[in-house]
Each structure stands twice: as C-alpha cells, then as structure tokens.
Amino acid sequence: MQPFLYLQPFLYLAILYVASVLSYLTFKNRDKRIFYLFILLAITAVEETATFGIKQIIDNDNISGPIISKIEGYYNPVEYSLFCLYYLQYVTAPLLRRIAIISIPVFVIFSLGFSIHVAKLREFPATNIDIEAVLLCLSYTHLLFNLDDTRPIQLLPNFWIAIGVLIFYSGVFTYVGTYGISRVVSPAINHRHFGYIIQPLNIVLYLCIIIGLTCPNQQKSYLVQ
C-alpha cells in the first residue's frame, strides 16, 4: 500500500493535466460551452501542483498546513463559481438559472468572509467545502436526471461529468464531516484519510471528466429544464 500512496499524487496530477488538455481541445474544436470547465481544470492543475510542491519542500504539517489552508481558502470560491457557471451552460429554466446565478456571489462572499475572518486563513475551510458539496450535488443531480438527448446515456458527456462530481463531492462531504475529529484525535490518521479517500476521489472525478470529454460530439444542443 505504501508504494501506491507514494505514487498516487503523481498519478493524480498526470490525470488532472490530461483532463486539462482535453478540455482545452474540446473547447477549441468542438464545444465552446466547455470554457468554464477548461478554466477550472487549468486553475486546479496549478493549485494542486503548488500544493504538492509545498508538501514536498516543507515536510512539516505545522508549517505547510496553514499555507495550504490559505490556498484552499481562496481556491474554494473559484472552484464553486466555475462548476456553477458550467452547469448554467445547460440549464434553461428561469428559476433555476436565477438561483444558480445568485448563489455564486453569495457563496463567494460567505466563503471568503468565513475563511478570512473566522478561520483566519490558517484552518482548513471545512465549512465552506461542505456547503459547496451540498450545492454542487444538488445542481449536478438535476443536470444528471434532466439530460435531453436521444443517444445512449453512456455517450453523453454530461452524464460522466455529473457522475464524477456527485461521487467526488459526496465523498468529500463525508470526509470533511469527520475532518475536525480526526485532526484532534490523530493528525497521522487524518493524513492517511486524505491519501485513502480524497486523492482516489479526485482521480475518479477527473477520470470521469476525461471519459466525458472523449465522448462523441453532441448531435444536438441538449439542455435541461
């Protein structure tokens, strides 16, 4: 298991970079609606590379932890906004569009305010991530169950993307819910939880996105009501 845990971050980063390149090619050649997904993946690749580099350079959780928490505190509202903007590319119902659009500035203000004034950018933004997980699970469940396309569901890009988001954020919600307890009980256990749970979930998310991006181009503009 130890060799796998050592290689896992490299595998994750490789998959993330592949997803980033595929999203750019899809945006450039096939579907302009992928723009927000491409921007999200590009920013995530930079953020995750920086986080991995900090962990390798500073082998001390007491020093690297606050730095990574500060990065996460600023990254979290960006991540939610771009996932939500991607969702909006496929929604036509006025009420749902209005709710999703309003949720972006509300979440950004709350997330930054909580991270800066409550967590002081030194603690992992668990509350923000839990709220983000709930909102994105609701949005992408709606997307998943309202795909308007006559092709087999496994050929629909948003089927795979929605599945990836739902698997990832369901797992993240569970992990973050126990984060505070495991951090107090044993930082070592908390570190193993990250290796056993979060990084595999990340790999599943970006593999699903890769599968979605390699699906045949849409035969029609499929929207959800």
16 belongs to a structural domain: yes
156 belongs to a structural domain: yes
The model's pTM is 0.87
CA-to-CA separations, 139 to 34, 88, 103, 182, 187, in angstroms, rounded: 17, 9, 11, 29, 33
8 A C-beta contact, residue 79 and residue 111 = no
In whole angstroms, what is the distance from residue 113 CA to residue 200 CA? 30
207 belongs to a structural domain: yes
218 belongs to a structural domain: no
113 belongs to a structural domain: yes
Hunting for tokens 């990254």 — which residue is that? Answer: 75
Hunting for tokens 């996932």 — which residue is that? Answer: 83
3-class DSSP state for residue 8? helix
Residue range of the domain that includes 156? 2-213
220 belongs to a structural domain: no
In whole angstroms, what is the distance from residue 22 CA to residue 15 CA? 11
In whole angstroms, what is the distance from residue 64 CA to residue 53 CA? 10
188 belongs to a structural domain: yes
**Residue among 210, 193, 172 at smallest CA distance from 5:** 193
In whole angstroms, what is the distance from residue 222 CA to residue 151 CA? 11
pLDDT tens sequence for the chain (225 residues): 455 556 778 899 999 999 999 999 999 998 999 999 999 999 999 999 998 888 788 876 667 777 887 888 889 999 999 999 999 999 989 999 999 999 999 999 999 998 888 877 677 788 899 999 999 999 999 999 988 777 889 899 999 999 999 999 999 988 876 665 555 445 544 555 555 778 889 999 999 999 999 987 654 444 555
pLDDT at position 124: 78
In whole angstroms, what is the distance from residue 98 CA to residue 75 CA? 24
219 belongs to a structural domain: no
User: pLDDT for 154-171, tens place per residue?
Assistant: 899 999 999 999 999 999
Q: ∠ at Cα 188 (187, 192), nearest 5°? A: 115
The number of distinct structural domains making up the chain is: 1
pLDDT at position 222: 46
- Give the DSSP letter of residue 118: I
3-class DSSP state for residue 30? coil
In whole angstroms, what is the distance from residue 18 CA to residue 206 CA? 9
pLDDT at position 3: 52
pLDDT at position 220: 44
**Is residue 198 classed exposed, middle or buried when 0-12, 13-18 and 19+ CB atoms within 10 A define those classes?**
middle
User: pLDDT for 161-214, tens place per residue?
Assistant: 999 999 999 999 888 766 655 554 455 445 555 557 788 899 999 999 999 999
- Per the structure block, which two tokens stand in for 172? 């993240």
- Per the structure block, which two tokens stand in for 189? 């256990």
